[in-house]
Amino acid sequence: MLTLHIVPYNEIADLTSIGRIRKLLNLAKEDKIVLLEGRLRKEEEAELIQATMEEINKDFRGIELATIDAISKNSDGFAKFKNAVASVILGDRQGLTVIGPANVVKAIKKDPHKIELLAREGVRRRKR
């Protein structure tokens, strides 16, 4: 069974960077595909990847991660202005982050306007 776990930004807003990383990594280790409202900071993404690499074993093969911004970088001048104002007000709440365990997610394809997640067929849940 494929499980999507939606994480509203306010659920991680008050956590430390390490707290955010642990929460998201633990969800992925439970074979859940995480849909995070907003995005992690670049440093947090790097720390998440590092923490993932440290925990890879025969039961946990890592994660797939993709982020999409609310407004594309190729937008016109007014859209870029709106994006800048929204960034000041909303901070990291803009966009969407998808994190999935590598044993469930075959690939995540990203373009400026969408994310396509391809799941593996016949994934069996690990025994806990």
Domain positions in the chain:
3-119
Buried b (16+ CB within 10 A) or exposed e, 79-116: eeeebeeeeeeeebbbebbbbbbbbbbeebeeeeeeee
Average pLDDT for 1-26: 92
The pair of structure tokens assigned to 109 is 């394809």
Mean pLDDT of the chain: 82
pLDDT digits (tens, 9 = 90+) for 17-48: 999 999 999 999 999 999 999 889 899 999 99
CA distance 84 to 75: 12
pLDDT value at residue 24: 96
Top-ranked range on mean pLDDT: pick from 2-6, 89-93, 113-117: 2-6
Alpha-carbon distance of 123 to 106, in angstroms, equals 11
Beta strands 105-111 and 96-101 are unpaired
Per-residue confidence (pLDDT) for residue 82, from 0 to 100: 61
Out of 3.30.950, 3.40.50, 3.40.5, 2.60.40, the CATH code matching 3-119 is 3.30.950
**Where is average pLDDT lowest: 51-65, 68-82, 86-100, 112-126?**
68-82
